[in-house]
A and B are shown apart, each in its own frame.
Chain A
Amino acid sequence: MTDRPVLEREVTVQSELGLHARPAASFAALSNRFQSEIWVSRGSDEEWVNGKSVLSLLSLAAAQGTRLRIRAEGEDAREALEALEDLIRESRETRETGTDA
């Protein structure tokens, strides 16, 4: 057994479009920047999918308002979780804003 940190956090999908194509691609891209393994599950499901895979994330079909659990295992687990949580929180689009001065 390794003693690397395992952290978990629950978030709610904010984007009107849910965790769909574009948000899922961003999520996977961000996950891939961290060494930690990233796992995601819907609400209380015990079925975890790979957070570094767009296809897996799409298979969650997480619409707006879905509760997701994100689990990170590895050295940079804390940073990864915070970044991913921010991403989910930030992407409350979808109105087009040309400028945000």
Chain B
Amino acid sequence: MGAAYVVQREGLIVPEYEIRGAQVDFEIERLRASIEVSVAQIERIERGVRHVEMVGAILQTQVAILRDQMLLDDVSRRIREERKNAEWAVRDELRHLERLFAAMEDPYIRERRADLDFIARRLLSNLLGRAPRRFDEIAAPAVVVAHDLSPAETAQLDRDRVVGIVTETGARTSHAAIMANSLGIPAVVGVASIVASVRDGDAVVVEGSTGRVHLRPDEATRRMASARAHRYARREREMLRAADLPCETRDGHRIEILGNIERSDEVPRLRERGGRGVGLFRTEFLYLNRSAPPDEAEQLRHYRAVLRAARPDPVVIRTLDLGGDKLASWLHVRDEMNPALGMRGIRRSLADRSLFRTQLRALLRASPDGRLRILLPLVTGVSEVREARACLDEVRSELELEGRPYAPDLEIGVMVETPAAVTLSDILVREVDFLSVGTNDLIQYTIAVDRSNEHVAYLYTALHPAVLRAIWKVVDSAHRAGAAVCVCGEMAGDPINSLVLLGLGVDELSMNPHAIPAVKQILRASNFESARALAAELRQLPTVADVTDRVHKVMQQRFPEAFAARAGSQGPGPADLC
């Protein structure tokens, strides 16, 4: 519940006037400038919310539309041919585009008209020298009530102060609704004439889960809303507080939680969520969507940045894992009948030595800047590790000759994601310093199931007896050799699996930073010895159903708050917060 903060619809009066031929260039220049200013405004907002899923992408799309050469050309042509001012030309062109979109059959495209309208309004405000709407003066807790909100406006709302959003326009697929959901602010859209029915400061309850809005609610509704808000806030607080605490079970067993990221600017957020280092830094993004692979200098910059940002915590950088479903255009691969079983991971690197050596050189040169560990993907046997090490040795001698420094005590690990690597884990671990289990691929190869194939996707589950036994085998092999095991697939980030992985003896979990607080909370409330007993029991169960039932039952019993919510339809999401 919050106090209404009513956003009045901006009345933009668009002037229309004739211009002389000599003024055409001036008007086009004004148009150009207003596009630049609009792009800068949205980009500034985008930087603040980039880490929120969907939100950054939506704003980037708006920037892409603003930067569209066609927009500039078409509006300029209107200015030139009609001899009218820039404001008029912008409005006319955007109206034309909106009509075009409105005529389309596709409902999704029709909804995008709203985005064009926001773009038009931003351009016009800037042309008219109006300051964009800001939301600095909102006092907590507020419910923002508006005719509509642009994606950029929604992104500016501070979730510590805004507890709900109600708009007159929009569908569930409108960007504002999608963004509010990602930002964790309950929103109800499409409430006709709400702006006229509410005054600033009125009490408003927004129920995101049911789509209900209570205006000036009675005592009972208020009490219900505030109880819900308290429950939600307490859970959030507890989770974030635990983020700073070590991940230690009640009986004193320590397990490390790290993050899976692919950009160095994600490190601060990883820290804030309680991650201690990077358990998986993927490098594919450096290679995709470009016409040539990145050179050593470019890679060096990226690796250095992430190592420095994470210092003194370790960073596990995985060497290139292209192939399979991730292909780069410059990588002239033949069509493979079966890409998942084809030229990917370490195979690709060993087949293209110059590509591999460039990456290893960049990694080694970055190594003095932090605690680097190198991870080799899709290893199926010892010879691949030896070949990779030989490459690494060659690169080391090269660097020595050139007098370039590198860290002498670099750790190397292999990614265990094939049944071959599981079976050979006791031999593989002698060749390396650590093992990292990539559960997404391990599940795919162990159960022989492609989860993007809808006909067999139902078979894909981490709680398959074969998967649990595989992880157990890997942990056992590693521990006998005195090495540590990290689990870094999606399995690690789902709290339902936390007790299982703890019990299997995994030393480190690496996951999406977003997932860390919830997993840590479970682990800190657990007991290592009883988790071990549970894992031992699970290893003997015959079917997926047996394992799943047992795990769900145990988790619901021990952590009723966390998993009762999961049983419900909404989960502990924004819908709970009112």
Contacts and interface: CB of A to CB of B under 8 A. Distances in A.
Contact of A54 (B58, B65, B289): B65
A12 interface: no
B284 to A, nearest CB: 9
A52 B69 contact: yes
B493 interface: yes
A25 interface: yes
B289 A30 contact: yes
B279 to A, nearest CB: 9
Contacts of A3: none
B511 A99 contact: yes
Given A79-B329, A98-B490, A99-B440, A33 B115 contact: no
A61 B512 contact: no
Given A86-B328, A86-B329, A90-B325, A99 B70 contact: no
Given A33-B290, A86-B328, A96-B53, A54 B61 contact: yes
Contact of A79 (B71, B327, B330, B510): B330
A93 to B, nearest CB: 10
Interface in A59-76: 59, 61, 63, 76
A61 B102 CA distance: 11
B135 interface: no
A97 B476 CA distance: 29
Q: How large is the interface on A (under 10, 10 to 19, 20 to 34, 35 or more residues)?
A: 35 or more
Contact of B511 (A30, A54, A98): A98
B306 to A, nearest CB: 16
Binding site secondary structure of chain B: mixed
B90 to A, nearest CB: 14
A25 B60 contact: yes
Contacts of B106: 18, 61, 63
A28 interface: yes
Given A86-B328, A92-B452, A101-B260, A61 B490 contact: no
Given A55-B71, A83-B329, A101-B439, A61 B61 contact: no
Interface of A: 17-18, 20-22, 24-26, 28-30, 33-34, 50, 52-56, 58-59, 61, 63, 76, 79-80, 82-83, 85-87, 89-90, 92, 96-101
Which 5 A/B pairs are nearest by Cβ-Cβ distance? A98-B512, A83-B329, A25-B64, A101-B438, A53-B70
Interface of B: 53, 57-58, 60-61, 64-65, 68-71, 97, 100-101, 104-106, 108-109, 112, 115, 260, 280, 282, 288-291, 325-330, 415, 417, 436, 438-441, 452, 488-490, 492-493, 510-512, 514-515
